[in-house]
Amino acid sequence: MADKRRFVYSAGDPTRYEDSLLPQLTLRLSAGKRTINLSALLDTGATVNVLPYQAGIALGLRWDDENIPVRLSGNLGRYDARAIALTGLIADFQPVELAFAWTKLETVPVILGQYNFFMSFNVCFLRHEFAFEIEPIS
């Protein structure tokens, strides 16, 4: 297992390359026996982790079975969301339990926010190098 891992920013819009570089990483999420890999945006301004509707469906989640509502704010404030817990795996780190606000909105990216991604990992952003480093909190 690695102590710290370095990732490079990726282009949100390939036609605007440097202007659209974002701190994104590949995240493996599991719910029961189902697992998916997806791209996740690290967002220090987000209070919670956010999972788009279709990703939850791909994990076998059923909207009507999730009964803990979550109130989102900002651009997501008008969409219903439910609290869910998933197992997340990043690179060769140990898996961690991640809480998400699973939203009915399909066009939102997977967002990793303050609760509980940044409570599980130390992150150092090196924007001038178009990179970031992640280290699990022991």
Q: Which CATH number goes with the domain that contains 93?
A: 2.40.70.10
Look at residues 70, 23, 28 and name the one whose alpha carbon lies nearest to residue 43.
23
Q: Flag whether 7 is in a domain.
A: no
**Residue 103: is it exposed, middle or buried by C-beta count within 10 angstroms (0-12/13-18/19+)?**
buried
How do 96-103 and 49-51 pair as beta strands?
A: parallel
pLDDT the model gives residue 11: 80
Confidence at 138, pLDDT banded by 50, 70, 90:
confident
Which residues on neighbouring strands pair with residue 42, listed in sequence order? Answer: 112
Q: Give me the phi and psi of 63, to 5 degrees please.
A: -50, -45
pLDDT in tens, 19-68: 679 999 999 999 999 999 999 999 999 999 999 999 999 999 999 999 99
pLDDT the model gives residue 20: 75
Q: Flag whether 16 is in a domain.
A: no
Q: In which domain, by residue range, is 53 found?
A: 23-136
Q: Flag whether 89 is in a domain.
A: yes
Count of domains forming the chain: 1
Put simply, whether the predicted model's pTM sits higher than 0.85 gets the answer yes
Q: Flag whether 115 is in a domain.
A: yes
